[in-house]
Amino acid sequence: METNVKNAKISVIVPVYNTPTLHLNRCIDSLLQQDYTNTEIILVDDGSSRDCCAVLEQIATRDNRIHLFHKENGGVSSARNLGLSKVTGEFLTFMDSDDYLDSHAWSLCIGSMQSHDSDLVCFGWQDHLADGTLVDHCITQDYSMSTIAKHLEVMRHITPIEETLASGQKRVSLPRSKESNQPLVCDRETLLTEIASDNIHYGGGYPWNKIWRTSALRDADGSLPFYDESLTIYEDKLWVLEAGARISSALIMPHILYHYMFLPGSLTHKDTDIIDRQPLAYKAYDKILDFLEKDFPEAYIRAYNFYFDVIFDDIHVLKDARHRNHYQKQYTETMATYKRLCKRIAPRTLYYPVRSPQFCSWLKERTLP
């Protein structure tokens, strides 16, 4: 569906819960400084403290494109859902309140969407680890899942490229081919298959590195798809897959435009916290499989393999002597989930885990205590 870029508005939903002022201001500044100016910034305060609310109120006075909404604390999904109910733009994107965006991101992506007549654009991002290391995630066809045998062979031998910048920071990336600098257009089924297979392929299940054409997502009554508020992990991946099922085509951009911050002391990146969160991940992945099973069989198989990979790794972690006594009950429950999962898949559709062992080991060493 054609949209005039010069008049098209982009709505960005930013949920906020007690975000440190420095990071919150940097986030909003990166949105206000976009060279694509027809924007609607929907700030959703999810029951933050009085101090954070005061900062948000001050931020809201800085520009008439900012619209601030307050609600009781209910989690990021409920905050995003409130934001979705307020969207008026022809394009839709999301932002985490402690991250930031390159100033040309929206003009580049929306212009490219129009040129390729796509309903969605996905772009790369850079992780900023707590120790200052930068990790590039450039989403190209280099590591596509479209040919399993080729993908597995490539990933077994991939080693991260590590360099030291003039600032003294370390920057890590994966090797790229010459074709990596070209945008790639794919159909809906390919997009869902790639995203279901991993957390990174073709932009993964993240809401913040994607821009959607809202007309492609709206129901007959004009409403947008909502997040499942019963989930607290992988809820964004389920939403991306459900939304992706509504589009015709997607544009995969090689550019790194989003900056994802790993704040020091973040609990979500601690080893034991990951263990505690995994049962919640199983609940989400059961819903992902249920959604994909009927209409998207290839994506279903890839999602199953990813789920199997995750739960298989969890079993080995839970058997570790450091966790065995404390997590005995969880180990028993995880084994029961594993057995149910094994009964769900057809024979000969399970393949070797796809993630690069070298890259996973490198990342784990730097993000986990």
What digits encode the pLDDT tens for the residues 296-352? Answer: 999 998 898 888 888 888 887 887 766 677 888 888 888 899 888 888 876 567 665
Which of 268, 283, 302 represents a domain boundary (last residue)? 268
3: in domain: no
Low-confidence ranges of the chain (pLDDT < 50): 1-4, 265-271, 354, 367-369
Tokens for 369? 């205590």
Nearest residue to 80 (alpha-carbon basis) of 227, 280, 206: 227
pLDDT at 265: 42
Tokens at 200, concatenated: 């990174």
Confirm whether 2 is domain-assigned. no
In a domain, 4, yes or no: no
221 and 338 inside one domain: no
Residues 195/205, Cβ–Cβ less than 8 Å: yes
Q: Which of 217, 236, 268 is the last residue of a domain?
A: 268
Question: Based on the domain organization, do 146 and 101 belong to the same domain?
Answer: yes
Query: Do 136 and 18 lie in a common domain?
Result: yes
Q: Which of 237, 268, 299 is the last residue of a domain?
A: 268
Q: Which residue range is the domain that position 233 belongs to?
A: 10-268
Residues 55 and 146 grouped into a single domain = yes
Q: Would you say residue 209 lies in a domain?
A: yes
Binning the chain into helix, strand and coil, the percentages to the nearest 5 are 45, 20, 35
Tokens of 92: 């839709």
| Same domain, residue pair 133 and 214 | yes
Give the domain CATH number at 15: 3.90.550.10
Enter the tokens of residue 179. 């074709």
pTM, whole model, 2 decimals?
0.89
182 shares a domain with 211: yes
Considering the domain architecture, whether residues 208 and 285 belong to the same structural domain is answered as no
Residue 124 CA: distances (Å) to CA of 32, 102, 202, 209: 21, 11, 9, 7
- Contacts of residue 314, defined as CB under 8 A and 6 or more positions apart, other chains included, come to 275, 278, 334
Considering the domain architecture, whether residues 258 and 335 belong to the same structural domain is answered as no
Can you tell me the distance from the alpha carbon of 310 to that of 36, in angstroms, rounded to the nearest whole number?
A: 39
Do 155 and 40 share a structural domain? yes
Tell whether 5 is covered by a domain: no
Q: Is residue 182 situated within a structural domain?
A: yes
Identify whether 68 is part of a domain: yes
Together in a domain, 201 and 299:
no
| 338 domain residue, yes or no | yes
Tokens of 338: 């594993």
Q: What is the pLDDT of residue 49?
A: 96
Residues 324 and 303 both lie in one domain:
yes
Q: How far apart are CA 66 and CA 77, in angstroms?
A: 20
Residue 153: predicted pLDDT: 67
Packing angle, helices 188-197 and 235-244, rounded to 10 = 160
Q: What's the total number of domains in the chain?
A: 2
Q: Let me know whether 296 and 158 are in one domain.
A: no
pLDDT at position 344, please?
A: 81
88-102 pLDDT, tens digit each: 999 999 999 999 999
Question: Tokens 């911050």 appear where?
Answer: 261
